[in-house]
Amino acid sequence: MRVATEQKRLTLITGAEAAAHAMRQINPDVVPVYPITPQTPIIETFAQFIADGQCDTEIINVESEHSAMSAAVGASCAGARVMTATSSQGLALMLEIVYIAASMRCPIVIAVGSRALSGPINIHCDHSDSMMARDAGCVQIFAENAQEAYDLMIIAQRLAEDRRVLVPVMVMQDGFTITHSAEPVALLPDESVREFVGQYEPLYPLLDTDRPTTQGPFALPDYYFELKRQQVDALEAARTVWLELQERFAETSGRRYEGFFEEYKLSDAEYALVILSSTAGTAKVVIDRLRRKGVKVGLLKPWLFRPFPAEEIAQALAHAHAIAVLDRAISFGSWGPMYLEISAALGRYLHEKPVLYNYIYGLGGRDTPPESIASVVTDMQNELDPRVLRYLGLRE
Amino acid sequence: MKRYQELPIGGVIPGGATPHLVQTGGWRSGKKPVFNEKLCVNCLLCWVHCPEATILVERSQMRGISYDHCKGCGICSQACPTGAIVMVAETNDEPQMPQQKAGEEVCV
């Protein structure tokens, strides 16, 4: 991402507060939500904005995340603009209804403070919660820092509500690392955000009694398959709409999210790292250090994980000698979720494939210092066996 | 049948799902409601409670039962305050209708 040089106003806020500011400016009609660490400061801050009269959203205090998403689906079907927020077990409890929200084409924006799934119980960051939800039919966007968390929430709202898309959009920021860390964020004027997201005009609002609809009907073998196929088109359309929105967002904010992923010193890199979210920030520091030593290493940081930009990523990585995919989640009995995506992408789109490594890192909030990431580059230089799944910072 | 591109998204049924377009009475629970017009007071509680389009009503008058839509759930006979609808075995071709005894007031 290129940040515009003229920043008129920077505010020192956490990632959670940044997401809450985006929600305040979007001013959704309904937010059904249940508190859970590390998401809680998002909704606490947002509730304070409402109490202070800065927006007039109806918050529904529910008894669980299952109820939160159920209420979100109901409100969305009624025709409301709906947002919610969750983490970890909360997302797990929501998940049954997240699938239904996606299939009923409810454009609900879900802010996620990424956190490890129990058990053992843990409140710190990894991506096992969002990866669990990757097949639910939502668009999934990963933010590196508080600025991205803010920007991507705003983009997400418009993306979800585009008539070509109409599915839930999850915006992930790393729990504690981003949700609870303060950093300077350039907030847009309220009017700019309101203009960007516009007025939501629901396709089939249940409250429109002049145009009655039945929603969420039983679909037997004669219809279910066709309705699932429609969801494929929705996620495909999300690619196009994402690119269109980046143009508009750049005009609005001066900040441009170029393509589906950020490339950092990747164009001439012999060694490429693929990392989601905040650890990508650490990787940039490592890359700068190694570049000074003459090691040609670069980074690819996807914003979009669903839909997965497979062809574009394969092309961007094609020139590398070796690639290491760092996953902050694991599919037990298999590999890291992003490694599987990248492996499939290279297999489908490239004839001559770079050597591909997979590292699992940071589970349950395990720290991943710059030295760990540097060791991955050393491993690639030493041509270690790529068939072995490796772990960073694990006692073994 | 329609291709996926032709169906409204999300399984939405514009205009609302209606059994008027589908005959849902292809099978029944084994019992069916039988209507006795003589006992009916036209309170229409059966029409209110029936989850299908089974109770036939014309100009606020109960006119009978559509077996094209009836699933035999028996809710109408439970809702009926006068015994004008009784459930009978599906195989019984000539159901015994409840008869109003002479002089008995129907309580509504």
Q: Determine contact: A103 vs chain B, CB below 8 A.
A: yes
pLDDT of the residue at A230: 98
The reply to whether A262-391 shares the fold of A11-193+216-253 is: yes
Task: Label each residue of A276-299 as H, E or C.
Answer: CCCHHHHHHHHHHHHHHCCCCEEE
What's the mean per-residue pLDDT of chain A? Answer: 97
The confidence score (pLDDT) of residue B21 equals 79
pLDDT of residue A6: 54
How far is B7 from chain A, CA to nearest CA, in Å? 8
The candidate with the shortest Cα–Cα distance to A355, out of A270, A291, A278, A285, is A270
Distance, in Å, from the CA atom of A23 to the CA atom of A55, rounded to the nearest integer, reads: 9
Residue A137: per-residue pLDDT? 98
For residue B10, give the nearest of A103, A212, A229 by CB distance. A103
Q: Which residues of B touch A204 (CB under 8 A)?
A: 8, 10, 12, 14
Chain B CA closest to residue A225: B4
- Using a CB-CB distance cutoff of 8 angstroms, which residues of chain A are in contact with residue B10? 103-105, 166, 204, 215, 227, 230
Domain residue extents for chain B: 26-89
Contacts of B17 in chain A (CB under 8 A): 214, 217
SS3 content of chain B, % helix, strand, coil (to 5): 20, 20, 60
> Does residue B108 register a pLDDT over 50?
no
Residue A390 in this model has a pLDDT that exceeds 80: yes
Residue B96, pLDDT > 60, answer no
CATH number of B26-89: 3.30.70.20
Average pLDDT, stretch A312-329?
A: 98
ipTM: 0.89
pLDDT score for A9 = 83
- Read off the pLDDT of each residue in A54-78 and give the average, rounded to a whole number: 98
Cβ B17–A229 below 8 Å, yes or no?
no
Q: What's the confidence (pLDDT) of residue B95?
A: 45
Q: How far apart are CA A326 and CA A328, in angstroms?
A: 7
On the question of pLDDT at A335 being above 80, the answer is: yes
pTM for the whole thing?
Answer: 0.89
Q: Nearest C-alpha of chain A: how many angstroms from B20? A: 14
The pLDDT score that the predictor gives to residue A7 is 54
* Nearest CB to A213; choose among B1, B4, B16: B16
Chain B residues closer than 8 Å to A225 by CB: 4
Contact B2 A234 (CB under 8 A): no
Of B1, B4, B17, the CB nearest to A214: B17
Task: Evaluate if residue B30 carries a pLDDT over 50.
Answer: yes
Nearest-by-Cβ selection for A229 from B1, B4, B8:
B4
- Check: CATH 3.40.50.720 for A11-193+216-253? no
Tokens of A230: 């429609």
**Per-residue pLDDT tens for B42-95?**
999 999 999 988 999 999 999 999 999 999 999 999 999 999 999 999 875 544
Per-position DSSP letters for A149-200, written without gaps between them: HHHHHHHHHHHHHSTTT-S-EEEEEETTTTTT-EEEE-PPPHHHHHHHH---
- Mean pLDDT computed over A48-63: 97
* pLDDT surpassing 50 at residue B98: no
A213/B3 touch (CB, cutoff 8 Å), yes or no: no
- Amino acid sitting at position A130: S
The answer to whether the CB atoms of B10 and A214 lie below 8 A apart is no
Q: Does any CB of chain B come closer than 8 Å to the CB of residue A227?
A: yes
Question: What pLDDT score was predicted for residue B53?
Answer: 85
pLDDT average, residue stretch B4-29: 88
Q: What pLDDT sits at residue B60?
A: 92
Q: How confident is the model at residue A96 (pLDDT cuts 50, 70, 90)?
A: very high
Per-residue pLDDT tens for A268-304? 999 999 999 999 999 999 999 999 999 999 999 999 9
The per-residue b/e assignment along B22-47, b for 16 or more CB within 10 angstroms, e otherwise, is: eebbeeeeebbbbbbeebbeeebbbb
pLDDT computed for residue B19 by the predictor:
76
End-to-end CA distance of chain B: 48
Q: Where are the domains of chain A?
A: 11-193+216-253, 262-391
Residue A91, CA atoms < 13 Å, CB-side half-sphere: 29
Using a CB-CB cut-off of 8 Å, the residues of chain A touching B16 are: 212-214
pLDDT over 50 (residue A144): yes
Q: Which of residues 196-215 of A touch B (CB under 8 A)?
A: 203-204, 211-215
What pLDDT sits at residue B27?
86
Best A76, A103, A204 member to test B by mutation, with max B CBs in 10 Å, is A204
B12 vs A: CB within 8 A: yes
Digit-coded pLDDT (tens) for A147-164: 999 999 999 999 999 999
The CATH number of A262-391 is which of 3.30.460.80, 3.40.470.10, 3.40.50.920, 1.20.1260.10? 3.40.50.920
Would you call A103 exposed, middle or buried from its count of C-beta atoms within 10 A (0-12, 13-18, 19+)? buried
Q: What is the pLDDT of residues A166-225, one digit of tens each?
A: 999 999 999 999 999 999 999 999 999 999 999 999 999 999 999 999 999 999 999 999
